[in-house]
Amino acid sequence: MILPDATLGVLGGGQLGRMFTIAARSMGYRVWVLEPDPHSPAGAIADRHLQAGYADRAALKELAAGCAAVTTEFENVPAEALEYLESRLPVRPGSAAVAVARDRIAEKTFIRDQGLDTAAFFAIHDADELEPACRSLHMPALLKTARLGYDGKGQVPVEGLADARRGFEALQGAACVLEERVDLAQELSVILVRGADGASTFYPVGENHHRDGILDTTRVPARVPERTARQALDMAGALADALDYVGVLAVEFFLTRDDRLLINEMAPRPHNSGHYTVDASLTSQFEQQVRMLCGLPAGATDLLSPVVMVNLLGDLWRDDRPPPWDALFAHPRAKLHLYGKKHARPGRKMGHYNCLAASGEDAAAEAEAIRRQLGGAPGDTGG
């Protein structure tokens, strides 16, 4: 076990790294952040900010020499950086699991190879593969870049072969997956924690709503039958076991109108849909990240209250003025979390708030009331 007063490293300086740093420091650890952005949210509060690229060998050497273990806040860290570090100290999750999660082709193929269901898809490496893929899939579909796509970026709607060809050209011929669009009833997610001993601990299933490809709200517990929730937990656990995963893992699902549960994607780190855990769970997903990195037992995941999490995007900062936070603070069961980002822009995640209440319906109603008071467009909190 790595105990408090040790130094932990994190690759990436965004909001997930910031919340990891807050959790680690509150537990008595020191944190070094490797991140090229001089104004990074995590670097601003870390004990040390190594301002360098993720593949900078001198910075990696310094990180390895000064830290007891290293984790990541996002999956697109260069593979060679993770491999260099894990040859010298514990890196959790490891490079093999991150390599699967960072590439949609590898990810979806791996999931399918475990006997777990996904939407029908084809890997597209060149334009000649588009015609047989379109012929085999039921339209409509989505063409998604295999790498670097997030929050709806790198995705093109496809109604037929002509759309697919135009989309592939627009994505500059990058490797893609062409994926059948499903008749969606709900989007769900599971946050789990898996230790080096192979034991997994699960949070309750969350119900997610997206807007323009970006997560808008998460409601917990999700309004699904117990058998569906149990199936989601079992599928997420089987995936973590197959990866021999160590750390916090998020698994996102599609629940179709004909009651099929399909794995959409996974994230090898804490996830936006798990932000509610900071206020509404006995142990937050970020404390769990520290625990798994340090070889400690998982904390309890009891849900203390029904909760709705709402993302705060830069669209609310009109004319560089922040939203009227006094309206939010007038709600005593709402909890605000801002990420310390210098500049707001449309679609950029600037923070979130959690609404806790006696019921999911009450939490959803309060979350929507706050959204209106902050000047946001109406959303779907499931109220």
User: Do 211 and 322 lie in a common domain?
Assistant: yes
**263 inside domain:** yes
Statement to judge: residues 82 and 211 lie in one domain: no
Q: What confidence tens digit (pLDDT) does each residue in 254-267 have? A: 999 999 999 999 99
Same domain, residue pair 199 and 323:
yes
Q: Is residue 68 part of a domain?
A: yes
pLDDT digits 0-9 by tens, 53-108: 999 999 999 999 999 999 999 998 888 999 999 999 999 999 999 999 999 999 99
Same domain as 188, residue 86: no
Question: Domain end: 180, 206, 230, which one?
Answer: 180
pLDDT at 127: 94
* Confidence check: pLDDT of 383 > 50: no
169 and 73 within one domain: no
User: Is the domain of 245 the same as that of 264?
Assistant: yes
Whether 151 has a pLDDT exceeding 70, the answer reads no
The pLDDT, as a whole number, for residue 150 is 65
Residue 226 lies in a domain: yes
In a domain, 194, yes or no: yes
221 and 357: one domain? Answer: yes
Residue 99 lies in a domain: no
Place 380 in a pLDDT band, splitting at 50, 70 and 90. Answer: low
In a domain, 109, yes or no: no
CATH number for the domain harbouring residue 155: 3.30.1490.20
Structurally, the chain folds into a number of domains equal to 3
Domain boundary among 137, 153, 180: 180
Domain shared by 124 and 252, yes or no: no
* Last-in-domain residue among 54, 71, 91: 91
Question: Which residues form the domain of 48?
Answer: 7-91
pLDDT tens digit sequence for 297-318: 999 999 999 999 999 999 999 8
Q: Does the pLDDT value for residue 132 go beyond 50? A: yes
Whether residue 2 is contained in a domain is answered as: no
Are 81 and 174 members of one domain?
no
Which tokens sit at 90? 């514990």
In this structure, is residue 244 part of a structural domain? Answer: yes
